[in-house]
Amino acid sequence: STPAAIAAALSAGARRGLLLKGGAVLEELRRIDTVALDKTGTLTEGKPVVTDIIPLASTETNLLSMAAAIETGSSHPLALAIVRKAKETNAPIPPAFDNRAIPGKGVAGNVGGTQVLLASPDAAGNETSIPEDVRTRIGHLNDEGKTVSILLADGKIAGIFGIRDEPRQDAKAGLAVLKSSDIRTIMLTGDNERTARAIGSDLGIEVRAGLLPENKQAIVRQLQAEGRVVAKVGDGINDAPALAAADIGIAMGGGTDVALETADAAVLHGRVTDIADMIGLSKAAMANIG
């Protein structure tokens, strides 16, 4: 019977690490004609590495200490990279207070009475003016595909971090499979235009950069208003609103609890090729049912 066929497809998917929250999701997936994906942790490994620490009014160790202190407790991939680097280099991690994530922008906290903000250049630029020579250095890092975060101590630039996150090995192939099924693919990222384009052109995907979580959600809604049926793929860090707005929200890999709660589906192995497989599963199952 039909319910039996749906149950069979759901369990076949589950064996391959493709988890769908019920038959309605399985039915809807085959209608997807647009797949929007986050960059960090979705199209990329999400295991970024701190490659550059550039002190401007501090020392490397002190920069790392302040950054790691306010990133402690955050599960953002950039936070994990900073804390890992501090531990590797034995930079002390002092206690911090009032740590808070600023979705799509950065993280802030109080370290020994100093207000510390670690943020994207755009967000930092709203707090203080960024000198031209610093902008130039940031641009060079971006062209190397690196994400830059600026550390402000009491509102003044103390230094900058360059962080690189490699594309997932199967990202290019996974996107190619979607495109060969006439599915439009779009990268949505809070990262800056230059870094996003460096990665987007390697992967062959349309890029929308410099987005806040609410902008990502607005783009999903706009695509829907144009009549598109949209799947949004993300790890859910900062991006739960867009996952929720999409026709199908898909949590990627070892995503956050928030992502798993908000999403309609999850790919456990974190492969980009799994997205096409999941849509294929739906098309095959529904073809069988007729």
CB of 46 to Mg ion, least distance (A): 9
Spot the catalytic one: 38, 191, 235, 239.
38
CA distance 199 to 154: 33
CB of 17 to Mg ion, least distance (A): 21
Catalytic: 274?
A: no
145 binds ligand ADP (CB under 6 A): no
Angle between helices 77-88 and 60-71 (to 10 degrees): 130
Contacts with Mg ion, residue ranges (CB under 5 A)? 38, 40, 237-238
CA distance 230 to 66: 40
CA distance 278 to 267: 8
CA distance 118 to 263: 29
Options 34, 54, 85, 106; binder of ligand ADP; rule CB under 6 A: 106
190 binds ligand ADP (CB under 6 A): yes
Options 191, 247, 264, 274; binder of ligand ADP; rule CB under 6 A: 191
Contacts of 267 (CB under 8 A, 6+ apart): 17, 18, 19, 233, 250, 251, 252, 253, 274, 275, 278
Options 116, 118, 251, 266; binder of ligand ADP; rule CB under 6 A: 118
**Which residues are known catalytic residues?**
38
Binding site for ligand ADP (CB under 6 A): 38-40, 71, 74, 76, 78-79, 104-107, 118-120, 147, 149, 189-191, 237-238
